[in-house]
Amino acid sequence: MSATTSTSTLTAPGRGDGAAPRRRPGRGRLTRPERIWGRIFIAPPVIGFALFALAPLLFSLYAAFTHWNGLSSPVFSGLDNFRTMSGDAQFWQSLWNTLFLMLGIPIGLAVSLALALALNRRMPGRTAFRVIYYLPGVSSVAAISILWQWALNGDFGLVNQLLASVGIEGPNWLAEKMWVKPALIIMGVWKGIGFSMLLYLAALQSIPRTLLEAAMLDGAGAWRRFLHVTVPMLRPVTFFLVVTGIIGGAQMFAEINIMTPTGGPEFGSATIVWYIWQQGFQNLKLGYATAMSLVLGLMIFAVTAFQFYLNSRNVFTVE
């Protein structure tokens, strides 16, 4: 096999030295059949993307500016949907509910980090605990929602029974406007804790011990080591969890539809995606629903871009 400096050569399998064909400059390192096969292989995902992501995206860009009921062709309506949105109290309420429910993200991160720190030590039953905490993460959302619907029942629910055992009279969680969102946050934290904990555990185990030992030699106590070594080293995982948490939180639907199928007391638990679904499929306003989806998509994009910007400003390297 030989190689020249000006052009690449490739020896086909089974061919002897010097049998490699010369190729024209600028055509890459692949033979023609390989290029064809390469294209065939990338065709399914490209076609899939074009059919199921790009085409719907382009169509939704148009549909957002139409009156469209999903039964007949869309009729262009300019900015009507966006004007309606600006004065739609339920849109703003559902947006507020969605943001409020995202309070569960920092709470969940704090709890899962604490658990990861606890389970990162040598202790009996460590594997069993890890499995138990991760179980909700692999369970069906529908099953979890029904389970929590029972647990949060005002009279006979497990949560209120536990509260009663310490002398607290629990509220009617899912039927009171004030408590329905905290109830959903509690459930969300419980559901997501296993996944976050697992990532934190992996990240904790990849922190070089030398850094912690160096900090210790410099006189740093446990808290300072945690604050100035562990937390910065966990930042990429935290960043990932926050971004995916916000994207996931903005799309919360199944739990709401199962636990509070009418949007909760005084619309107190209706999330933006639930409201979009309701408008699109229950009230035949697919044009309006698409416009709301577009706004939601832009919001998620803006928030994520801002997070990337913040993260890029805090990049550090360990020499």
Partner 1 sequence: MRRRRFLTAAAGAAAAAATGVATGCGNLHSNDPDVLTFMFRGSTEERDVFSRAVDVFVQRTGYQVDIISTSADQYATKLQTAILGNSTPDVFYLEPPRTMAYVTNGVLADLSEYVEATDLPVDDIWPAGLDLYRFDGEKIGDGPLYAMPKDLGPFSFGYNKTLFEEMGVEPPDKDVPLDWDEFLARCTALTGDRDGDGTTDAWGTSVNIGAEIHSYVWSNGGDWVDADRRTVTVDTPEFAEALQYIVDLREKHGVTPSINETEGLDGYQRWLRGQIGFFPVAPWDLTLYRTLDFEFDLCPYPAGATGTSATNIGSLGIGVSATSRRPDRAAELAMFLACDPEAQAIIVGEGQTIPNTRSHAAKWVEETDVEPQNKQEYIDIVEDYGRFVPNAMTYTPEWLDAFYTNLQPVLEGRQDVGEYLEATQPVMQGFLDTGYEQLRIDQKANS
Q: Which DSSP string do the residues of 176-209 spell out, in sequence order? A: SHHHHHHHHHHHHHHHHHHHHHHHHHHHHHTS-H
Long-range contacts of 159-165 (CB under 8 A, 24+ apart): 159/186
Q: What is the chain's Cα-based Rg?
A: 27
Cβ atoms < 10 Å from Cβ of 207:
16
**168 near partner 1, judged by CB under 8 A:** no
Q: Which is nearer to partner 1, 17 or 155 (CB)?
A: 155
Least distance in angstroms from the C-beta of 52 to partner 1: 8
- Contact segment (CB under 8 A) with partner 1 among 19-27, 131-139, 224-232, 284-292 equals 284-292
Between helix 177-205 and helix 235-250 the angle, nearest 10°, is: 150
Q: Which is nearer to partner 1, 137 or 154 (CB)?
A: 154
Sketch the per residue contact string, 169 through 198, with partner 1: x for CB under 8 A, - otherwise: ---x-xx-x---------------------
**72 near partner 1, judged by CB under 8 A:** yes
The residue within the footprint of partner 1, chosen from 9, 11, 69, 311 (CB under 8 A), is 69
SS3 state at 276:
helix
* Termini Cα distance of the chain: 41
Q: Which is nearer to partner 1, 133 or 275 (CB)?
A: 275
Calculate the CA dihedral of residues 141, 142, 143, 146 and round it to 10 degrees: 120
Q: Look up tokens 């947006």; give the residue.
A: 95
Q: Which is nearer to partner 1, 134 or 253 (CB)?
A: 253
Q: Which is nearer to partner 1, 51 or 305 (CB)?
A: 51
- Contact segment (CB under 8 A) with partner 1 among 103-111, 154-162, 214-222, 303-311 equals 154-162
* Residue 101, C-beta contacts closer than 8 angstroms, at least 6 positions apart: 181, 184, 185, 188, 249, 252, 271
d(CA 101, CA 183): 10
Scan residues 249-278 and list those touching partner 1 (CB under 8 A): 262-263, 265-267
Scan residues 33-62 and list those touching partner 1 (CB under 8 A): 37, 40-41, 43-44, 47-48, 51
Q: Which is nearer to partner 1, 39 or 228 (CB)?
A: 39
Amino acid occupying residue 206: S
The residue within the footprint of partner 1, chosen from 155, 205, 309, 317 (CB under 8 A), is 155
- With contacts defined by CB under 8 A, how many residues of the chain interact with partner 1? 35
Least distance in angstroms from the C-beta of 171 to partner 1: 10
**217 near partner 1, judged by CB under 8 A:** no
Q: Which DSSP string do the residues of 56-117 spell out, in sequence order? A: HHHHHHHHTTEE--SSS--EE-TTHHHHHHHT-HHHHHHHHHHHHHTTHHHHHHHHHHHHHH
Least distance in angstroms from the C-beta of 283 to partner 1: 5
Alpha-carbon separation of residue 43 from 26, 36, 52, 226 (angstroms): 23, 10, 14, 48
Scan residues 75-104 and list those touching partner 1 (CB under 8 A): 75, 90
Backbone angles phi, psi at 259, to 5 degrees: -80, -35
- Contact segment (CB under 8 A) with partner 1 among 148-156, 237-245, 247-255, 302-310 equals 148-156
Binding site residues, partner 1, CB under 8 A: 37, 40-41, 43-44, 47-48, 51, 67, 69-73, 75, 90, 153-156, 172, 174-175, 177, 262-263, 265-267, 281-286
